[in-house]
Amino acid sequence: MEGYQKPGRKLAIVLGIFVVLAIVGIIRWNSLKDQNGAGRKRLGREWSKLELILDQIQNNYVDSVDVSSFIEKTLPTIMEELDPHSIYLPPDELRTADEELRGNIEGIGIVFNVPSDTATVINVVVGGPSEKMGLQAGDKIIKIDTQIVAGVNMHQDSIVRLLKGPKGTKVDVHVKRYGENNLIQFSIIRDKIPVTSVDVAYMADSLTGYIKLSRFSMTSYAEVLGAISDLMKQGMKQVIFDLRDNTGGYLDQALKITGEFLDENLLVVYTEGLHRERQDFFTHKRGFCYDMPLAVLINEASASSSEIMAGALQDNDRGTIIGRRSYGKGLVQEPVYFSDNSGLRLTVARFYTPLGRSIQKPYGTNSREYAYDLVERYRHGELMQEDSIPKNDSLRYETPAGKVLYGGGGIIPDVFVPLDTTGVNDLYLRISRQNLPIRFSMEFADRNRARLSEIGNFEELEQFFASKQLENEFLRYVNKQGIGPVPAQWKECGGILMTQIQAYIGRNTRLEDKGFYPYLGRIDNVLIEALEVLSTASVTELAEPGLVLAPLGKNLDK
């Protein structure tokens, strides 16, 4: 009967919860360093009731119970009861998470998109297994081993799982190539694929270098140093560091990267928890760019290490933070690994900025409310109006230079930039919903693949677009899809759509992201604001060289 659950199954699930609670308790019991014996004795009494229950079930319960199965089913629920970021990771998920942070994964080395129910290769990783076998940008993936993946509404993540696999294993990829009548089969031996965390680094103008960091992986610091060095050779005198949508990663990488924009002996962040004493993290040397005019971009998806970096720079009166309030993830997760290759990410402390601001946004027993926080921000107008950002006067702080900041969850930017809705009219939505810009870009790239493969720099890409009637081609394409653009609406959104199309096509060249982001930058209101801020002499640099903060800073309410 629908909605009915057998009493025996319910009891077994409860048993699983008790078992897991006992195991977690024993782990914490062994790892805690109590200050006195009383605390240890008290913890023992709390867990003894579970032991009694387990003993009763083991000796008297009517049926046998598969404890291992229920542990796997109930651990995620138990971790949710602790806080939003303590999680249990089964072996596969733990391996994937670790691989991405370490900066390498095992697979075939391609970047693909699924614009119209068929995975299309956008780029092939140089030196990777696919490039060695001859796979090319524009190839459409029809079959992987014996499984058809085109035209069957397969989710992109499912295709990724089919392509990824342990180093040394083989996968057969069947592709349709433009101009070829028959499918081409590639037998590819999977290998380690380096994953870069610096998405792109280029000169946004003659003075300004732009660096976008997608995560703080094991290789991030080296990548950022390399990007800074290359940009300085191109004449960089000021920098925009983009942390939007960066969800965090390794703390040591965040500390090193932040340190390159600060003077020596400055507090970057500190951590503290019930069972973890306060630990301060300072810069050890004068950073390579410690006095370079700086703007840091954040948004509602910037989290964890991104917030540590933004908060440290802000509290130290360094640079200008631009965008929207960050996510508010300030809990320290400590990894715990088990012999079956699963593990925990257990919260053991909180992050605090140099002034003592807690980065973590509030959370309680309502996990749904926490999960939908970003939706609530949109509903309450926070993504559009600066006045809608919550500010708690009891968590009001002041920097040594007199700038007022607020704690209580996330980093509030110095310069607010709303979510950009410019040109988003009915025509724009109709075209975007059908994914027409990407679909057209793929078709255009297929027709011009030979010429695009010859383009080696951004100037050549600009010249290529100047030689094409790209807008006319796209309007004809849109008409074929049954959409007749209204001239007035096209005037509002046409420029935005055509810039997006140039970006998508640019990514299909050897320039890859260096042919993509410079075009998107032309319609990026946050980046445009950052360039304006840096061009204004009075706000290009807020820091005073040599300024040293006290460990906790000053809370104005105390």
Concatenated DSSP letters of 170-188? EEEEEEE-TT-SS-EEEEE
Mean pLDDT of the chain: 85
The model's confidence at residue 146, banded by pLDDT at 50, 70 and 90, is very high
Contact partners, residue 27, CB within 8 Å, separation at least 6: 336
Q: Does domain 198-336+348-420+541-555 have CATH number 3.10.450.50?
A: no
Confidence of residue 61 (pLDDT cuts 50, 70, 90): confident
Contact indicator for 361, 409 with CB cutoff of 8 Å: yes
Active-site option among 245, 315, 513, 524: 315
The correct answer on CATH 2.60.120.10 for the domain covering 104-194 is no
Q: What is the mean pLDDT of residues 165-184?
A: 90
User: Would you say residue 455 has pLDDT above 60?
Assistant: yes
pLDDT-derived band of residue 366, with 50, 70 and 90 as boundaries?
low
How many alpha carbons lie under 13 Å from residue 438 in its C-beta half-sphere? 15
- The reply to whether 198-336+348-420+541-555 shares the fold of 104-194 is no
- Residues 150-167 as b or e (16 or more Cβ within 10 Å = b): beeebeeeebeebbbeee
301 Ramachandran zone, left/alpha/beta (phi>0; psi -120 to 50) = alpha
Residue 197 among the catalytic residues: no
Q: Which is more confidently placed, 404 or 65?
A: 404
Eight-class DSSP state of 320: E
**Residue bearing the bigger pLDDT, 554 or 419:** 419
pLDDT score of 68: 75
Structure confidence at residue 106 as a pLDDT band (50, 70, 90): confident
What is the predicted pLDDT for the residue at 3? 37
Asked if residue 318 has pLDDT above 60, the reply is yes
* Confidence at residue 556, expressed as pLDDT on a 0 to 100 scale: 38
Give pLDDT, residue 358: 94
256 flagged as catalytic: no
Kindly indicate the confidence band of residue 367, based on its pLDDT and cuts at 50, 70 and 90: low
Taking the C-alpha atoms of residue 171 and residue 165, their distance in angstroms, rounded to an integer, is 9
Query: Would you list the domain boundaries of the chain?
Result: 7-82, 104-194, 198-336+348-420+541-555, 426-523
Q: Which residue has the higher pLDDT, 184 or 550?
A: 184
Share of the chain above pLDDT 90, in %: 58
Residue 467 has pLDDT above 90, yes or no: yes
- pLDDT bin (cut points 50, 70, 90) of residue 23 is very low
Of residues 197, 304, 306, 326, which has the active-site annotation?
Answer: 304
Residue range 161-168: average pLDDT? 90
Reported as a single tens digit per residue, the pLDDT across 468-509 is 999 999 999 999 999 999 999 999 999 999 999 999 999 989
351 vs 365, more confident: 351
Residue 212 has pLDDT above 80, yes or no: yes
What is the share, in percent, of the chain residues with pLDDT greater than 70? Answer: 85
- How much is the pLDDT for 539? 43
CB 506 within 8 A of CB 517: no
**pLDDT for the residue 17:** 37
Higher-confidence position of 82 and 259: 259
- Report which of 418, 417, 430 is spatially closest to residue 497, judged by C-alpha positions: 430
Confidence band for 179, pLDDT divided at 50, 70 and 90: confident
Residue type for 408, please? G
Catalytic residue among 256, 329, 361, 514: 329
pLDDT for 21 equals 37
Lowest mean pLDDT among 90-94, 97-101, 435-439: 97-101
- Catalytic residue at 139? no
Rounded Cα–Cα distance for residues 121 and 113 (Å): 7
What average pLDDT does range 307-320 have in this prediction?
98
